Amino acid sequence: MVMAGKSRVRRWAVDKAKAGRGGMSAWALHLYADQRPWAALLLAAAFLHAGLAHASETTSGKANASAQHAALSEASTSETRLLEIYRLMAQGDMRRALDLAEKLVRDVPNFQLAQLVYGDLLAARTRTLKSMGDIPAASANAGAVALAELKDESQRRVLAVKDRPPEGAVPSQFLKLSAQTRTAIAIDAARSRLYLFTNTPTGLRLTADYYVSVGKAGTIKSQEGDQRTPLGVYYITSNLDTKVLNEFYGAGAMPLNYPNILDIKRGKSGSGIWLHGTPPQQFSRPPRSTDGCLVLSNPDILALIRQISVGATPVIVSSQLIWKPVNQLQAQARPFESALNAWRDAKVAGDLNKVLGFYTPDFASYGKSLAQYTPQIKSELKAIKGHHVELKDLSYLHWSDSAETMVTTFGEVVEGRRTGVHKRQYWVRSNKDWQIFFEGVI
């Protein structure tokens, strides 16, 4: 039904379009005057020209243009082409916008939003349009849901490029990543945006970002079938073989480890939360349209698959990302670093009671209570025998909602040995103290 509605929207616009190119800029002028939210947001594409129009006048203008161009190039190719069409519309260059739109829908015929914009541009050749997808009432009613979804998608694509993350800032969850962690992902559900980072010797670098769809009912998943996308710190567990995938999942799929340890502790249920592509007839899905998965266009999921490391790529899914300068995050991490080092020092000292003090009363490790896990701790203290312990390839990711938690991963290597056990811990902050509520070998 959605697909049919979108097709009707475009068919009407195409059928109504006539030959001739006069008066095209009237639409852009009309939209500038229109203060309805969708119009203001659509024409926020003018951000591309807010500094570009006078770029030749000042050095700062040139820098602005360069930065915006770089930001734009990070998006997928089809999205970049669509935003260029918006830019031309905002300029009033409707002829060039129409030419590019025609090429885009020819190259990517299943890009429904591009089809809608193309239809509008064709219709604008003969009359002034009052709104995006300006069609007769009968057609508008039949395709109302589809049209609203396309407007929402358009708005989010434009805003994602308009409001770029601050230069040098990273999502607040990424307190420390091991050099062995090559890539990291952060998803801002409110913006329908997935950000891909490369871990470099000088820190995380934002290398790409993509439009992404989330659950029909939004976020904060709590139970099976609630059509919500979970929020939290996750890891990509596998890259599924496309030969066995249903075409619904598109060009690729990567499951996440939902429910994670914190989810299980909170009694959350459900499974099958994947990052995946779209079926052949859809280039992209509306912002809120999945059963809980995170869905990208097929070109974007393929680009992502080429860059991630299964089992080692953390995925932050947040209702809204908070970006902070790296030096602020380093300061924020110090209290936890102190607790982690104190736990290690207690193990080196062989002080069982002090070590146990770092574990919560409700601690659990793969079904074992703290009392059942204590023999494992005793065995580790005996093996250490006062030798220094190095926490190699250390990463810790911060999650804060109703409680503060830290997801920590490291290799625990005793001095004099070449290898050790690879562990993951979940810590919770109670008042000012950090304690472990899960520890296990991964």
What is the phi-psi region of residue 433: left when phi exceeds 0, alpha when psi lies from -120 to 50, beta otherwise? Answer: beta
Q: What is the pLDDT of residue 39?
A: 39
Parallel, antiparallel or unpaired: strands 294-295 and 274-276: parallel
79 plus 143 within the same structural domain: yes
Share of the chain above pLDDT 90, in %: 74
57 plus 83 within the same structural domain: yes
Cα separation, 396 vs 429, in Å, equals 14
CATH of the domain at 394: 3.10.450.50
Structure tokens at 284: 């992209």
Please check whether residue 164 is in contact with residue 71, taking contact to mean a CB–CB distance below 8 angstroms. Answer: yes
From 129, 145, 162, the end of a domain falls on 162
Lowest mean pLDDT among 38-42, 173-177, 373-377, 406-410: 38-42
| Average pLDDT rounded to a whole number, residues 68-94 | 75
34 plus 112 within the same structural domain: yes
Amino acid (1-letter code) at residue 293:
C
| Average pLDDT rounded to a whole number, residues 193-206 | 96
Domain count, the chain: 3
Range of the domain at 354: 325-441
313 plus 288 within the same structural domain: yes
19 plus 43 within the same structural domain: yes
306 plus 336 within the same structural domain: no
Which is more confident, 76 or 152?
152
From 141, 162, 183, the end of a domain falls on 162
User: What rounded mean pLDDT belongs to the chain?
Assistant: 85
209 plus 312 within the same structural domain: yes
57 plus 203 within the same structural domain: no
Cα separation, 256 vs 272, in Å, equals 8
45 plus 152 within the same structural domain: yes
Q: What is the pLDDT of residue 1?
A: 33
The structure tokens 């095209």 sit at: 24
Cα separation, 12 vs 123, in Å, equals 9
Who's near 350: CB < 8 A, 6+ residues apart? 381, 384, 385, 386
From 162, 181, 202, the end of a domain falls on 162
For residue 140, the tally of other CB atoms under 10 A from its CB is 17
Q: What is the Cβ-side half-sphere exposure of residue 41, based on CA atoms within 13 angstroms?
A: 16
Whether this model's pTM surpasses 0.75 = yes
261 plus 134 within the same structural domain: no
β-pair partners for 294: 275
CATH of the domain at 223: 2.40.440.10
